[in-house]
Amino acid sequence: HDWGAMMTFDYAAKHKDKVIALTMFEGFAVGWPEVPNSIDGQYYSLVAGAEGERLVIEENFWLNLIQLGSNRPLPQELLDIYYAPWQTEDSRWPIRQFHLDIPIGTHPAHSYNWMESNFAALRHSLELQILVFQKVDENTPLTFPPDSVHAARFKSAFSKLDYVVLGAGNHFSQEDYPTLLAQTMAKHIEKFA
């Protein structure tokens, strides 16, 4: 999920003898060059400047998006777990760097190239399951819309691809549908038991 998909693909590319299958959803694992330039520009104008820094460090803006990225109200005890590591401004600098490195379009180049390199190394070498949730908000782009160029790259690169379109969800689908996600992934894992 999300940035974890990039790290997982990186691990799999470096340890092909240890990984035979992956499941991912709402993640960055391959370049997305067809993203509109307007989105690319809007994102980096927000994140890269002084205002972006203030929002992340002082306002804890990105963690506050957890509530917006889930379709169900999250109980306070769950939110407390999310917020626990990021109580001080100094603790939020990794979040700041994380969002500067998120690949939107072909920027930043180091993230885009890293993804493309791992993707090329893994083509046709493992079984991939992609779980896709239809967005509730149509204005929020889905990471892998079934008819997108992005999705087509996966379909052409992985001969063993299980492309599962699930119900309505948002970015934090693991919070909206924890049981559904677990059950779907468990069925995938059973193939290799």
pLDDT at 84: 94
* pLDDT for res 11: 95
Q: What angle do CA 102, 98, 101 make, to 5 degrees?
A: 35
pTM, full prediction: 0.81
DSSP structural state of residue 29: -
pLDDT one-digit tens code per residue, 86-142: 999 999 999 889 888 887 777 788 988 998 899 899 888 888 887 777 665 555 555
The total of other beta-carbon atoms located within 10 Å of residue 68's CB is 12
- Lowest-confidence segment of 34-38, 79-83, 160-164 by average pLDDT: 34-38
Lowest mean pLDDT among 23-27, 59-63, 68-72, 140-144: 140-144
Sequence-separated contacts (24+) of 12-20 with Cβ below 8 Å: 12/118, 12/122, 12/126, 13/117, 13/118, 13/121, 13/122, 16/121, 16/122, 16/125, 16/126, 19/126, 20/126, 20/127, 20/192
Q: What pLDDT was estimated at residue 144?
A: 65
pLDDT band with cut points at 50, 70 and 90 for residue 32: low
143-189 pLDDT, tens digit each? 566 777 777 888 888 888 888 887 777 778 888 888 988 998 898 88
Q: What is the pLDDT confidence band of residue 37, given thresholds at 50, 70 and 90?
A: low
Residue 10 vs residue 69, higher pLDDT? 10
How many Cβ atoms sit within 10 Å of the Cβ of residue 32? 22
User: Does residue 3 contact residue 10 with C-beta atoms inside 8 Å?
Assistant: no
In this predicted model, which residue has the larger pLDDT, 67 or 112? 112
